[in-house]
Structure 1
């Protein structure tokens, strides 16, 4: 029986990227695009309705977690599904990726984030126009810039913001490195959803200060879009240049710290063979006085 060759099969042989870096960068672009499209769209649904939010905060957190999970799932078989420069830098420091490839990943991630934000804008442009009457604002009750990029709460100083971004990203990268560590035997199909669930946990615990971007591409790409598309330089000069660099620098530091901390505290001590340890299956408790 002769196997039928479809037009998709013929097209694949013509357009498939032969270069490994190019294939991986394209996957990172698509994965980050999906991530940011979902996150910014969820934020738009939370900000724009006049009669109250269409999503409660838990809905926003769930939507963000789904964006993380499916962005990673789409790209992990080709590129590893980093979709975050902080994750890429952590793996670079850990020796799991080469510098040229890491640079290609980061560029693709920022571009994907920019395009994801642009798609959200055109999806919700009519609602944005109704909400702000066509005047794009970064601050005030009619502000819409925070649909796309992060802005700190009024209570947050630069030190608190930096610590927030370092800590949150370190926790996330610990989850990522733990999940992809072969010694922990997670099936490849379940890894994106473990990471998404981890991000949901972080969001429910750490969203109050600045919305937990924890991803330089996710913040910088959409912020650049708002600079170019009507919100102006205030997107970068907000708080007298005291904010925009924090969700870039903080996650890069936090990602490296998280990767190193996982290895020194857990990874180096995890046995390759799971048979060395057994789960305790009994719940029997004995009195302290019993010998």
Structure 2
């Protein structure tokens, strides 16, 4: 157990969620579409978090990423649990900041969403996008670690552009759970943004391992 790493995950997730959420709220205040602003808000938020504290903990800031690292034996189960707890706390703190500077409605506006009657499709999109995200993360952190700090945020930006209309493009259970709790909108739909990304993380890891093993032949 390493308190410094847990603290870094808490702070990094706070940076990610607060910058991403505030950017969505700012877009609404300026009558700009969140569909355009959110990808850059969360992508640049992740970039800032990685640059600030990524060197301390590895820069997960996402339970799905921690699951991928656990499956790849880059982190042990005890520390993985500590990371996830820290991430959830950091995400909640980020949503509380938005509640303080804006309103509960603003927090609700940052919660992940999908079109009515399209839950299954939203889960599939979350699985697909998270699998891509984890494949990129696991590959670049091993093959080209010097590029990871920029490649990973750019990938998250692209994922948001691709997925927001269909699933809200969470790919991060902590990022979706926090505004639902703080904004008072937590309901059964939260399973989309918890189950989908976790399955996607496992799928991304499986693809990564298959490709790594084939390249070693």
- TM-score normalised per structure 2: 0.92
1:116 paired with 2:97, answer: no
Question: How far is 1:186 from its partner?
Answer: 3.3
Q: Which residue, 198, 213, 218 being the options, matches 2:155?
A: 198
For the pair shown, which has the larger CA radius of gyration, 1 or 2? 1
1:218 paired with 2:175, answer: yes
8 Å CA contact 2:172–2:193 kept in 1: the answer is: yes
8 Å CA contact 1:83–1:109 kept in 2: the answer is: yes
More helix per residue: 1 or 2? 2
Distance 2:173 2:91 in 1: 10
Distance 1:44 1:268 in 2: 44
Q: Which residue, 115, 129, 145 being the options, matches 1:153?
A: 115
Cα RMSD (Å): 1.8
8 Å CA contact 2:131–2:201 kept in 1: the answer is: yes
Q: Which runs of 5+ in 2 are unaligned?
A: none
Q: Which has the higher contact order (CA 8 A, sep 6+)?
A: 2
Q: Which residue, 142, 145, 162 being the options, matches 1:186?
A: 145
Tell me what 1:104 maps to: 82
Tell me what 1:84 maps to: 62
Deviation string 1:28-56 (CA, Å, 9 cap, x unpaired) is: 0000000000111111122344xx22x56
Specify whether residues 246 and 78 from structure 1 end up closer, same or farther in structure 2 by C-alpha distance, changes over 3 A only.
same
- TM-score normalised per structure 1: 0.69
SS, match of residue 96 in structure 1: coil
Tell me what 1:16 maps to: none
Count of residue pairs brought into register by the alignment: 216
Question: How far is 1:75 from its partner?
Answer: 2.3
Tell me what 2:213 maps to: 268
Q: Which runs of 5+ in 1 are unaligned?
A: 1-19, 126-135, 137-142, 228-234, 272-291
